[in-house]
């Protein structure tokens, strides 16, 4: 497991972000990446992929008994997703703030879901809800060799 070899705390905290199929089809990838970059987070993993239903069922395991589970898995496999890992101080919590609420109706303007979409069943983006979820999701979606850890050249201008 990735968790064993990498310290996920402080400036090395990581989160799993995915642009969902509607976000990819509606060409929101660039702006989502841009906002994470502008904020000061570091991109350490990125791939465009068609996710299998098996992977998606595992990813959304916590919702397996919810009435929307099958629909959710179909939605998420309806086209390619952009799977990403972003790193930085408090990136999990901040990523969730940047996303907005699960229901776009409750999401403020300035958030991805507040700006880009209207319904829960097509809400454009996924982000891990805790550091523990992030660890689980990153090891589910990425091989260790696909993550590019490196010294960020602007770190001294972002952190003390």
- Show binding-site residues for ATP: 20, 68, 96, 102, 113, 123
d(CA 38, CA 119): 27
Site track for ligand GDP across 6-45, x = CB under 6 A:
----------------------------------------
Intra-chain end-to-end CA distance of the chain, in Å: 31
Partner from ligand GDP, Mg ion, none contacting 135, C-beta within 5 to 8 A by type: none
Cβ neighbourhood burial of 84 (10 Å; 0-12, 13-18, 19+): buried
| Residue 55 binds ligand GDP, judged by CB under 6 A | no
Catalytic residues: 126
* Residue tagged 């919810």 (tokens): 66
Partner from ligand GDP, Mg ion, none contacting 59, C-beta within 5 to 8 A by type: none
Task: Give the pair of three-digit tokens for residue 83.
Answer: 């799977």
| Residue 110 binds ligand GDP, judged by CB under 6 A | no
Site track for Mg ion across 74-113, x = CB under 5 A:
----------------------------------------
d(CA 135, CA 147): 13
Which residue lies nearer to Mg ion by CB, 61 or 151? 61
Considering only the stretches 21-29, 47-55, 122-130, 144-152, report the one whose residues sit in contact with ligand GDP under the rule CB under 6 A: 122-130
| Residue 71 binds ligand GDP, judged by CB under 6 A | yes
Distances (CA, A) of 121 to 16, 32, 96, 101: 20, 19, 17, 13
- Angle at 39 (CA atoms; ends 38, 43), nearest 5 degrees: 75
């Amino acid at each position: 497991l990735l968790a064993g070899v990498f310290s996920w705390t402080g400036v090395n905290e990581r989160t799993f972000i995915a642009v969902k199929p509607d976000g990819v089809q509606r060409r929101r990838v660039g702006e989502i990446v841009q906002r994470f970059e502008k904020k000061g987070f570091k991109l350490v993993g990125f791939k465009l992929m068609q996710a299998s239903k098996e992977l998606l069922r595992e990813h959304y395991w916590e919702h397996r008994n919810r009435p929307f589970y099958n629909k959710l898995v179909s939605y998420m496999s309806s086209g390619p997703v952009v799977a990403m890992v972003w790193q930085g101080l408090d990136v999990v919590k901040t990523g969730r703030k940047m996303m907005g609420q699960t229901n776009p109706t409750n999401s403020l303007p300035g958030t991805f879901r507040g700006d880009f979409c209207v319904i829960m069943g097509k809400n454009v983006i996924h982000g891990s809800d805790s550091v523990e979820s992030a660890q689980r999701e990153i090891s589910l979606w990425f091989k260790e060799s696909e993550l590019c850890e490196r010294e960020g050249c602007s770190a001294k201008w972002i952190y003390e």
